[in-house]
Structure 1
């Protein structure tokens, strides 16, 4: 039994009884890292090739060995490009922009079909008038046009009144929304977070502050290698150090938290503070329940995000500088991101008690 999760564009995590594997890129050129030896694969239709980067090679299909090596080399080059793009995506997570919610405007109602109304009245008025009774027909037409104009004016007034009533309802709803009505804000955020790569859920709205929980991937999603070149100019997929992996993982978590904060502020213009708890679920316990590990908690004010140089500042520095509160635990020489001690953080524990982690996992 296993499951698959798309972490970011171009990155998919697969977990099974054999461990966790990260696949990067399309089937035509895909890099595989994680449990077992790293490798590259390529596939076209029913034929596929797989090359281990740690020694040894196995192939499927009936291509000659030389052709297999050529395809594998091309796949390795393509996979290196995909890996570089994936690493860049992680670095740019926090730079995503969102459309700010605007006051809704009631749709214009289609105007009455004046020509059709006049034709209907004229037909009715002339029904009892002889064809050669020109004077009678003129009088009928004049009376019909007057009656038609009265109907057109009345219908236009009715439609205008209905649109005004709809706009008044929208204005009242917008006023409540921007005043941070909990039900309206929670509903808007639930909808906005539905398609996020990192599932998130609003937990509570208190005045102009919202509490949000975001589910981040486990550390195993970070690739073990990165593309580079040897002194001779040959392509190489070099193994990351533990520190490099820890830094990249922390950067990803910070990026996912920041992008959630930015989206919350864009969706709900009345909010001034977003409090976020980032959790991960590395495994299930003996009872089949998810083991939840909070790895970061922060509070960010809307005003603190103004003036940030998003194009150059990385997610870690932005969060460190912008957060009014930041709880994070990095241990050891490699600065590995480790779970927070809920015994020391009762407020975070209370937030997590209100989250349906199973539902978050279903959206992952």
Structure 2
């Protein structure tokens, strides 16, 4: 199976603290179109309650350095349960109710318009002053009425813009989908970025392409939570097979969680092309370790508590590469399309590193 794997022409990749970010050269910018159900709270509350990969990696490193068995157990449970996080479906935004100018603001503007429209006339010319004041009051009234019309038109324009943005998302327009997804990833401090979206002419299904930067195998500690003979918590040494199995399970949980997040935002998407990359041990650059095609049906029809590893393996477009008796997960076999995307990601990281050095020099 071949995927239309590429970085869209409108997209430029940049590095961020959590991973890579897509910047649209053309097309709309993300505005947070749509809304989440009120039962789940607003977006910030929902994201704050859910552990993200960047935070989990930091906690895992700290737990390993301090030999904190309870912290290590907690973070490893979180790494393998990312797919259980709730991602409510985006819904069409409610149109804001039409509002008039506040009475105090309207009165203040009318007074200013009255003062501006009334010419300075001597107090001894009563007739001229009365006539000028009457004309000024008429002009001020026309001005305030015009403000009312303008206020109404602005409100109608905002409603029309929201409708257009929602229709673009619901119709799976490329730039709208990329912008909304990457805004979601950035707000959630996710290590993912959307690099392409569109329709596959062969299958007539909509798709998005997401690149995710995942930590290396050392994310899983050589010693893990265990119990002593008397039942007390302790750290015990893991075999390489155990470490690799836990690492694969964590990637599978992350992949499924990413699909759930994507289909909650891109309401019309059918397929997710997911490319997982990581920095090689004792090396620079990036290496691809997983390329899969995960569908909306994969998520909506599977039992929520089912093991995500079989799904990850079944959805792989390129076979995962395992090496040695311990089944170490290594880079995928070379593929031109995959390498082209990885090179674009690596270039973005290198540009960020160069910019950081230059900023340090200038300071």
How far apart in 2 are the matches of 1:10 and 1:201?
18
**Equivalent position of 1:187 in the other structure:** 179
**Equivalent position of 1:299 in the other structure:** 293
Q: Highest Rg: 1 or 2?
A: 1
Detail structure 1 runs of 4+ shifted over 6 Å in the superposition: 117-125, 141-150
Unaligned runs of 5+ in 1: 14-21, 26-30, 33-39, 41-75, 131-136
> Aligned Cα RMSD in Å?
4.1
> Are 1:249 and 2:295 an aligned pair?
no
> Are 1:23 and 2:61 an aligned pair?
yes
Contact 1:242 1:334 in 2 (8 A): yes
User: Offset of 1:120 from its aligned partner?
Assistant: 7.3
- Encode CA deviations 1:212-263: one digit per residue, 9 max, x unaligned: 2111111111111122222223432111122210111101112222222222
- Encode CA deviations 1:185-211: one digit per residue, 9 max, x unaligned: 222233322366662232222322111
User: Offset of 1:153 from its aligned partner?
Assistant: 4.8
Question: Which of 156, 161, 166 is the aligned partner of 2:148?
Answer: 156
**Equivalent position of 1:53 in the other structure:** none
**Equivalent position of 2:72 in the other structure:** 83
User: Offset of 1:278 from its aligned partner?
Assistant: 0.9
Question: Which of 58, 67, 88 is the aligned partner of 1:12?
Answer: 58
How far apart in 2 are the matches of 1:319 and 1:281?
21
Distance 1:360 1:182, change over 3 A: farther
**Equivalent position of 1:314 in the other structure:** 307
Contact 1:227 1:235 in 2 (8 A): yes
Q: 2:280 is paired with a residue of what secondary structure?
A: strand
Question: Which of 89, 96, 112 is the aligned partner of 2:85?
Answer: 96
How far apart in 2 are the matches of 1:314 and 1:110?
55
Contact 2:318 2:332 in 1 (8 A): no
Distance 1:142 1:212, change over 3 A: same
> Are 1:336 and 2:334 an aligned pair?
no
TM-score, with normalisation over the residues of structure 2? 0.64
Higher strand share: 1
Point out which structure has higher relative CO (alpha carbons under 8 A, 6+ apart): 2
Higher helix share: 2
Distance 1:282 1:159, change over 3 A: same
User: Offset of 1:90 from its aligned partner?
Assistant: 1.1
User: Offset of 1:117 from its aligned partner?
Assistant: 6.3
Distance 1:295 1:198, change over 3 A: farther
**Equivalent position of 2:360 in the other structure:** none
Contact 1:280 1:295 in 2 (8 A): yes
Contact 1:10 1:82 in 2 (8 A): no
Q: 1:260 is paired with a residue of what secondary structure?
A: helix
Alignment of 1:1-364 (within 5 A): 8-12=54-58, 23-25=61-63, 31-32=64-65, 40=66, 79-104=68-93, 105=95, 111-112=101-102, 113-116=105-108, 153-194=145-186, 199-207=191-199, 208-283=206-281, 289-290=284-285, 292-310=286-304, 312-320=305-313, 323=315, 325=317, 327-342=319-334, 345-353=335-343, 355-359=344-348
How far apart in 1 are the matches of 2:160 and 2:232?
67
Q: 1:243 is paired with a residue of what secondary structure?
A: helix
Q: 1:303 is paired with a residue of what secondary structure?
A: helix
Contact 2:56 2:79 in 1 (8 A): no
Number of paired residues? 290
